[in-house]
């Protein structure tokens, strides 16, 4: 079952902040975040693991609530380059990496 992302779409003005949420009905081992620009391949943003370990780009921050099986991606002081579709991918707690299940995406548009 795919994780649920919210919102489905958001429009921001440059400099504004946004939060994208990802929720799963299953116990999770990790949550992955990727961004895809139109016509391009998805690009890695961040991984958050159960227990607190994480790896990602410096300008991106995210959280992972293991009890609620929820993750949030925080985009602060947005730039035009942040536009794209954001996908979360979840890995079940069996830890048999990597059967990754992606959400349907959140489309973000940053305008001047």
Partner 1 sequence: EAQVTQNPRYLITVTGKKLTVTCSQNMNHEYMSWYRQDPGLGLRQIYYSMNVEVTDKGDVPEGYKVSRKEKRNFPLILESPSPNQTSLYFCASSLWGKVNEQFFGPGTRLTVL
Q: Which residues bind partner 1 (CB under 8 A)?
A: 2, 30, 32, 34, 40-44, 47, 49, 53, 55, 87, 89, 97-105
First to last CA, the chain: 37
Q: Which is nearer to partner 1, 82 or 87 (CB)?
A: 87
Fill in the DSSP letter of residue 72: E
DSSP notation for 3-43? PEEE-SEEEEETT--EEEEEE-SS-EEEEEEEEE-TTS--E
Which residue, 21 or 101, is less far from partner 1 as judged by CB?
Answer: 101
- For residue 33, the minimal CB distance to partner 1 (Å) is 11
**Smaller CB separation from partner 1, 37 or 77:** 37
**Nearer of residues 69 and 85 to partner 1, judged by Cβ:** 85
Q: In the bound complex, what is the minimum distance in angstroms from residue 14's beta carbon to partner 1?
A: 27
DSSP 8-state symbol, 111: E
| Cα–Cα distance, 7 to 12 (Å, whole number) | 13
CB of residue 30 vs partner 1: minimum separation in angstroms? 8
Q: Which residues pair with residue 65 across a beta bridge?
A: 70
């Amino acid at each position: 079952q795919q994780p649920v992302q919210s919102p489905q779409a958001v429009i921001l003005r440059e400099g504004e902040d946004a939060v994208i949420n990802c929720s799963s009905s299953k116990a999770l081992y990790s949550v992955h975040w990727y961004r895809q620009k139109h016509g391009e391949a998805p690009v890695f943003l961040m991984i958050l693991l159960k227990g607190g370990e994480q790896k990602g780009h410096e300008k991106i921050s995210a959280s992972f609530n293991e009890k609620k099986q929820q993750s949030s991606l925080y985009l602060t002081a947005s730039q035009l380059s942040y536009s794209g579709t954001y996908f979360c991918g979840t890995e079940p707690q069996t830890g048999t990496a990597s059967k990754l299940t992606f959400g349907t995406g959140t489309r973000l548009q940053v305008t001047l």
